[in-house]
Structure 1
Amino acid sequence: MKKQFGILAAVSALALAGCSYGTAQGVESAPAPLAAVELVMPPERDPSELQILFWNDEQRSERFRDMESWFAGHEVPAASNPRPLAEGTPLPAELAQEIRSLMLETGAAGVMVWDDGGVRFEDYALGFGPDQRWTSFSVAKSFTSTLLGAAVKDGFIASLDDPVTKYVPGLAGSAYDGVSVRQIATMTSGVAWNEDYTDPSSDVAQMARFVLEYGPEATVEQLKGLEREAEPGEKWVYKTGETNLIGLVIENAVGLSLAEYAQEKIVEPAGFEGGLFWMTDMRGGNIGGCCLSLTLGDYTRMGIFALEGGGGTVPQGWFAEAGDSLVDFESRPGFGYGYQWWTYPGSYGAQGIFGQSITIVPGDDLVVSIVSNWPTATGANRGKWFQMIGKIAAAD
């Protein structure tokens, strides 16, 4: 198996060197990528060491801030003109202490509060610091959504109502026939999917098997074997596989990897100071549903970028729509889902397993960024931080 991993890594490198993502019919050719997006290859390791869901607490704390040493990915340099994060009025001392106590209780490695134009709170734990990057897990989905908006703005994707099969023809004849790009953006395709992280036979757990068996065709091969359980647009089901599919749609339409496109459409205009690392798949492209790494400050810069409307890189009003409750959760009034953003009462945000999040409160010009090492992938800690963010929003 160790040798097999080495072969997989080599194939990924070869795919990047000679990769052609293709360009959607009827749009202009791919833009030239900005300079110095590089492929990073980790040391060869036994695949048993790469099972993230089974890392212990110590391994997670160490490896979440050093994913570049464990997985292949694209290294995107810092913006040519990083955005400074001004120092704001500190939060009241009692509230700051509550945040630090909750950090300790929930295994948070870093928390930053940006409010009314300045950083009002910033603290770190678990050996993590301001110059290090921490993995995002599904926070990456909201980055992929932003690149989807950019591809629409640039004309590479004609409409969110285009069929998915226009951009990923390999899914023709599958349950994705008749499904629109908008419906995969809101996870309402009607295609069945099991996202149970504790079930080794679930669809999300089987993604690794498809990579081993099908290599560059893994995502298409897995998705085209799924069944439809509802008509498109009628049922919401959380599906990491479909965000990977959004990544394919974008890369096929634009002709660049997500990381290369993100350099032009997110990293530069948002002014990231610490660059970006985004894990690659066997095609040499990036994993749309997961696995980019950022400094805590750059998590916050992404939130500010969304709060301010995206600097002209996405259609006018994109974030207002993407962060709106396009799907309402009947069991949780006020909560829902937009275009790969979770929506909450008066706010919206990006979430990732083990406690990563960016929460944006437009009415208060507030962004709260959190990176963590929870003991389990999901749990009650999210609710505790919702309550804390409410206190922060109400603070003077």
Structure 2
Amino acid sequence: MRVWTSFAAACALAIGAGGVAIAKDEAAPAVKSITQMSPAELEKVRTAGAQILFWSDAQRAANFRAMEAQFPGTTAQHGTPRALPKGEPLAITDAEVEAFMAAQNVAGLMVIQDGKVRLEKYGLGMKPEDRWTSFSVAKSFTSTLVGAAVKDGFIASIDDPVTKYVPELKGSGYDGVTVKQILTMTSGVKWNEDYTDPNSDVVKMLSVPVGPGEDPNTAYLKTLPREAEPGTKWVYKTGETNLIGVIVQRATGKTLTEYAQEKIVKPAGFEG
């Protein structure tokens, strides 16, 4: 299955550094990060960012297959795909698996053990070559890219202040917060991640109007107050996953797509 992956974010509405798709054999579209979007495109992103958590099941089933229509992004090209051979089938009937997937509204299910595929099924009309948004899988990618940036010398230390890489956060609640504290979501900055609250930060994080070249997620984070000393309180924050993407881009001078293609996509043998 080809997976639409928002490397900059915890979920599809988190595109502070631009969404990323992994192309299979088609040519890559023109590069477009959020800081390169037109005012009309930014408005579309703000609207989708505010609405995505409240989509109906039918809207999710339609939009999760092609999130680039809602959130324009950039495309990484795969290298040599890593083979995933078939393994011994699980001791479970197709009927049982299909009943579970239907009850849970599952689009795709795969079980891999020791590098072999023991189960692979699709629902909601999906096929193996289709794409589906990966949501919080993005956290694993962005955090891995921080490690790569440290190894490559782009980030001197995860104990560096965030403002070293994102200076526009100076004077905000992020003054004195380290990259490590962003990675561990212990910045001490106040945040509401309630997906059912239309006034929560996770809904409003792309809502700040910005000028050309500005990142709306960073602009929103800059407005938030501090509620605890950095490093003392853990709060799940999608906005800070986006911020990690911005840090990596600023430190490396590359888009997340470019750096992920180099450090993850090709070495790992992604097919799509």
1:119 aligns with 2:111: no
**SS at structure 1 position matched to 2:207:** helix
Q: Which amino acid is the alignment partner of residue 142 of structure 1?
A: S
Partner of 1:90: 89
Q: Which amino acid is the alignment partner of residue 230 of structure 2?
A: P
Q: As a proportion of its length, which structure holds more strand?
A: 1
Partner of 1:168: 166
Partner of 1:57: 57
- C-alpha offsets along residues 22-78 of structure 1, whole Å, 9 cap, x if unaligned? xxxxxxxxxxxxx95743799x8994983322322222112211223333111222x
Identify unmatched segments of 5+ residues in structure 1: 1-14, 17-34, 275-396
What is the CA–CA distance in structure 2 between the aligned matches of 1:112 and 1:248, rounded to whole Å? 32
1:39 aligns with 2:38: no
Q: Which amino acid is the alignment partner of residue 73 of structure 1?
A: G
8 Å CA contact 2:205–2:221 kept in 1: the answer is no
Shift, 1:103, TM fit: 1.3
Shift, 1:252, TM fit: 0.4
Higher relative contact order (CA 8 A, sep 6+): 2
**SS at structure 2 position matched to 1:134:** coil
- C-alpha offsets along residues 300-352 of structure 1, whole Å, 9 cap, x if unaligned? xxxxxxxxxxxxxxxxxxxxxxxxxxxxxxxxxxxxxxxxxxxxxxxxxxxxx
What is the CA–CA distance in structure 2 between the aligned matches of 1:138 and 1:80, rounded to whole Å? 24
Q: Which amino acid is the alignment partner of residue 227 of structure 2?
A: E
**SS at structure 1 position matched to 2:31:** strand
Partner of 1:30: none
What is the CA–CA distance in structure 1 between the aligned matches of 2:147 and 2:104, rounded to whole Å? 34
**SS at structure 2 position matched to 1:260:** helix
Shift, 1:138, TM fit: 2.2
Q: Which amino acid is the alignment partner of residue 234 of structure 1?
A: T
Q: Which amino acid is the alignment partner of residue 138 of structure 1?
A: S
Shift, 1:228, TM fit: 1.1
Partner of 1:241: 239
Q: Which among 189, 194, 197 is matched to residue 195 of structure 2?
A: 197
**Aligned positions of 1:207-356 closer than 5 A:** 207-210=205-208, 212-214=209-211, 216-274=214-272
8 Å CA contact 1:40–1:68 kept in 2: the answer is no
* Identity within the alignment, %: 59
Q: TM-score, normalising length from structure 2? A: 0.79
What is the CA–CA distance in structure 1 between the aligned matches of 2:205 and 2:106, rounded to whole Å? 28
Partner of 2:67: 67
8 Å CA contact 1:37–1:260 kept in 2: the answer is no
What is the CA–CA distance in structure 1 between the aligned matches of 2:185 and 2:31, rounded to whole Å? 30
What is the CA–CA distance in structure 1 between the aligned matches of 2:264 and 2:30, rounded to whole Å? 17
Q: Which amino acid is the alignment partner of residue 90 of structure 2?
A: L
8 Å CA contact 2:86–2:118 kept in 1: the answer is yes
8 Å CA contact 2:173–2:222 kept in 1: the answer is yes
Q: TM-score, normalising length from structure 1? A: 0.56
8 Å CA contact 1:76–1:263 kept in 2: the answer is yes
Shift, 1:225, TM fit: 1.7
**SS at structure 1 position matched to 2:87:** coil
Shift, 1:178, TM fit: 1.5
What is the CA–CA distance in structure 2 between the aligned matches of 1:262 and 1:57, rounded to whole Å? 31
